[in-house]
Every structure is written in C-alpha cells, then in structure tokens.
Structure 1
C-alpha cells in the first residue's frame, strides 16, 4: 500500500509522491506559475505587487517560485535576499558567494582520497584469499 498523506493546501488524502500537495493542487500551482511566467515575460521589470494585482496569484506563491528557482528576478522587481548573508539575489535561497563557501566547508570536512592511490587488490592465484564457510557443528 502506498504512503498516504494529507494535502498541505486542501487537506485531501492522496498517495505521497515526493511533494506534500495533492495532484489537483499541484496542477493548480503549475497553472498559476504559467500565468505569472507569461506576465513577467511580457512585462519585464514588473514589481511583485503589480504581478499580484494583474495575475491574481498570491505574493507568497510568487516569492516561493523565486526561491524554488522557477522564476528569476531579472525580469521581476523583487526583494529576495540570501538566507545566509542578506545580499539581494535573483532566485533561490542563497547567493553564489554563500553557496561556494558552504560547498568549500563541506568539501573540507569530507575525507580526501589521494587520486594516485589505486584500490589494493590481492594478487591473482593466491589460495589463502578464498572465502570459506566455518563449520559450527549445528547439524
């Protein structure tokens, strides 16, 4: 049986497939995204408030499209800020500088493998390297 969840938007029960919203609400969200995308394409430099008024899509949803990277603020005047340093960004949650810093920190904590080291393999033909089953005397 599939994993059932309640939709975070409408409360309906649906089989979970990676998102916390049901297929019906997901389709509605996609339709709203397409309306906003067309408006921003046809009216570059429009502000978020203008897009809200002209499309009827909620401001929070438009900002979420920006955070998700589905829209870019290049054609849309928005006040999206990096969640780490506060710098103004066009889309996503973090600026390029913070992304690079976090990636470097993560890489610094991962064990480094020497590129020249080859995995050691036992020489072929050695009998002592064979696998055996130990008789425990149960039967």
Structure 2
C-alpha cells in the first residue's frame, strides 16, 4: 500500500484512491450532506448564502460542483465562473460555449494529426527494383 500525506490535514494515511485520509473524507461527506439539506430548505440560495448558512466555504462548494459531487437541479442561483472564460455556469469546469469550442478544437487537432500521419506514410522511403 502507498503511504501519503493527506492533502487537507497533513496526516499520514494509506492511500487507496483519493488524496485525503478517511477522516477528511468523512468530514467532506458531512459538509456535502449539510449543503444538500440547506439547498432543499433554500432552493433560491446562491453559493455565498450556502457558504454562510453551512460549514462549507465558497471554494469547497465550487469544488464539489466542478467535481460533480454536488448536482444542481432546482437551484437556479448556484452559479460559479467557468475556468476558461469566467462566464457563469452550473456544472462541470467549463461553460457550454467553452465545452463546444474545446471539442471543436480537439476534433480539428485530431484531424490534423491523422492527415499528417497519412501523408507521412506515402512520402517516406524509396522504391528500388
């Protein structure tokens, strides 16, 4: 087993899958449950209001949202900035426009690599008889 220091508290622990120890995982889960309960009672709350009404910080709430651990269905005011452009979004790390743009750029890059590889196979080498 790999031994590591917990990213949150610094204690040594047997690393199984996450960067934090079992105690910190339990604490995170408790905070996440508290956030969910708060949002059930206050569906119109924004991130700052949730942070004020719970033990969570703004950064923790955004991390839960970006990681997909906190899903917003009926909470229209829970928005945070896109990591790429800063536009407000409610899920994932990127807004819808940046997601589409990134997918398009990746598709173009993949096509360029594929084209380069196919051209490279025909142009190299010599034929001798």
TM interval, shorter chain, is: 0.7 to 0.9
> Matched residues in 2 for 1:25 and 1:101: separation?
36
Q: Cα RMSD (Å) of the superposition?
A: 2.2
Instruction: Tell whether the 8 Å contact from 2:46 to 2:79 is kept in structure 1 after alignment.
Output: no
1:78: how far off? Answer: 4.0
Q: What does residue 101 of structure 2 align with?
A: 101
Deviation at 1:35, TM superposition (A): 0.8
- As a proportion of its length, which structure holds more helix? 2
- Structure 2 match to 1:7: 6
Which structure has the bigger radius of gyration? 1
Shift of 1:21: 0.5
TM-score by length of 1: 0.69
Long gaps (5+) in structure 2 = 115-129
Q: Please give the TM-score of this superposition, normalised by the length of structure 2.
A: 0.73
Alignment of 1:38-57 (within 5 A): 38-57=37-56
* Corresponding pairs, count: 112
